[in-house]
A and B are shown apart, each in its own frame.
Chain A
């Protein structure tokens, strides 16, 4: 990561509530703030229901945020209209890769039409030849055979489908990609293929990623910085190594202690740390920088102990 950190995405006090005012109101994302720097991979981890996917979906404006700001290259995109030229421009710059490669590709569309849909929407190619040429380039980039562009999704395996999803995201030359559990539906031997591909493309194109996952060892491997979410809040945020080597929040510690390691000796000696919600959360806590670059959700008294 470059030293002169330039934020591409700034999330400020983002709140995303559902069923507002009803008895079943859910505070899926509850006052979350963080920056994502240009060129980095920002990992977001947490268990199911922690709000990590909702955070991603709010940033890309699949939801209308309840409160807070989302700055993309300095411009607030949290309130731009769902349909309009501003949103269309924004959609080109930010793309998403979805979790389920089976459900996220239209089974009735040919691969070339799936990939080129963004090109068509934004009018990025002027002729069919140019469109096909671009699709070939994209398939080649994700290591799929360009000859297969007229096939349908069912003719591809899970890993290959995820590559199609990546090609589709790349089609409109985005700057920032949100990958929501892009490998969790894939087999171990295929996961590494997709992760390596994503990293190669990132280097070639200077992309910024937000990588949402619950597989902590993969997140650590791919991310520069990691935020840990719990119950709609970010409880800790730091460099990937720092968060694994020196976790501060009890929830992070508990999460790390639960990761299965493919090494019997490690497993034999593993001590699982239980996490107690009540003793860890109370009024007056907020996410604050307690060590350089290391943010912790705590109260001021606790924060002072790091000074």
Chain B
């Protein structure tokens, strides 16, 4: 498959009053044409920073101090501001989390959707507005022609998020970055937006990087999944590999702390104890070790490298080292393993 985006050894620091926060500590991944990559992690794990680095939408105190971000082989980090402006919102665009604050309240939605076209393609205003109407119809805004002249406050939350999506896709971007696009929405609306993204992906063939903390949403939309913790990827693989054959104890913890609809009240929820580390002083060893019941001595001393599980599946945990003792994962995870075996038999 064509790799359109390759992020290599990305490091991002933030200068704060208290010192330097090492928010991203060496992230590597690539994105193929037409696929959906989900990045999962809790708040502060660095998932938003990772994707914002791609578009260079970071706060002023941020410093991308190491790494390359190759888009069709060219390093985005070496581009001038002007060159980036030509890519942003055009080739690579972003859907933001909060539909309430990411639209301009004083501008009609027709103009807002047409704006990227006017900036990037230099088409006529009439053409741009025509295209805006078309895209609004595509994202499911009823009567787009009449509603083009309405303002954001005249739309519901779900409709506003559709408008935000319309702005992001109006230029048919190659890469669509969706940063928690459904977190602020009700479940029924969330389901509609996800269906819409999938449908759009088929229609315009865009690749999607989808950021979320909701594993349920990931299972529904992703081809591949990366799990992020304390500024690093700890595991990545195909959606089936992450959900049915997870290897990293943090992934186990995440999957196991969510009740499924058949979790009964008698099984206490498996919670991950403690809280994530402070990245002002990242721990020497595996950042997850202090919360990890399977941690070994080496986890506290040395960061684990990625171990290969399959051609597409890697996990950074010492448990995969040939000399590591065999451990018994939580019950819920064992059930998932059984399912993985069944899947394997069917292939």
Contacts of A260 in B (CB 8 A): 187, 190-191, 194, 214, 216-217, 219-220
Could you say which of B213, B253, B258 contacts A217, with CB atoms under 8 Å apart? B258
Number of residue pairs across A and B with beta carbons under 8 Å? 118
Contacts of A133-171 to chain B: CB distance below 8 A = 157-160
CB pair A272 B258 closer than 8 Å: no
CB pair B42 A261 closer than 8 Å: no
Mark contacts of B149-189 with chain A using CB atoms, 8 A cut-off: 1 yes-contact digit, 0 otherwise.
Answer: 00000000100000000000000000000000000001111
Could you say which of B191, B219, B257 contacts A188, with CB atoms under 8 Å apart? B257
Could you say which of B192, B194, B239, B271 contacts A196, with CB atoms under 8 Å apart? B271
The interface size of chain B toward A, counting residues with CB under 8 Å, comes to 44
State which of A62-70, A92-100, A262-270 sits at the interface with chain B. A262-270
Contacts of B259 in A (CB 8 A): 217-218, 220-221
- Answer yes or no: B215 CB below 8 A from chain A CBs: yes
Say yes or no: A189-B188 contact (C-beta < 8 A), given A217-B261, A261-B219: no
Chain A interface residue number, banded: 35 or more
Residue in chain B with minimal CB distance to A184: B183
CB pair A214 B186 closer than 8 Å: yes
Say yes or no: A188-B215 contact (C-beta < 8 A), given A262-B243, A267-B220, A272-B195: yes
CB pair B219 A264 closer than 8 Å: yes
Complex Cα distance A272/B198, Å? 14
Complex Cα distance A255/B192, Å? 12
Mark contacts of A238-278 with chain B using CB atoms, 8 A cut-off: 1 yes-contact digit, 0 otherwise.
Answer: 00000010000000001101111111111100101001000
Contacts of B190 in A (CB 8 A): 258, 260
CB pair A262 B261 closer than 8 Å: no
Complex Cα distance A48/B42, Å? 23
Complex Cα distance A220/B264, Å? 9
CB pair B272 A192 closer than 8 Å: yes
Residue in chain A with minimal CB distance to B221: A267
- Answer yes or no: A187 CB below 8 A from chain B CBs: yes
Complex Cα distance A259/B194, Å? 12
A-B contact pairs, 29 of them (CB 8 A): A48-B157, A187-B42, A187-B43, A188-B214, A188-B254, A189-B253, A189-B272, A192-B272, A193-B272, A196-B268, A214-B186, A216-B187, A217-B263, A220-B261, A221-B269, A244-B261, A257-B191, A258-B191, A259-B261, A260-B187, A260-B190, A260-B194, A260-B217, A262-B255, A266-B219, A267-B216, A267-B220, A270-B220, A272-B191
- Known pairs A192-B272, A259-B216; list 20 more (Cβ under 8 Å): A47-B188, A187-B213, A188-B42, A189-B42, A190-B42, A190-B275, A195-B271, A217-B259, A217-B261, A220-B259, A255-B188, A260-B220, A261-B216, A262-B215, A262-B243, A263-B243, A264-B239, A266-B219, A267-B216, A267-B219
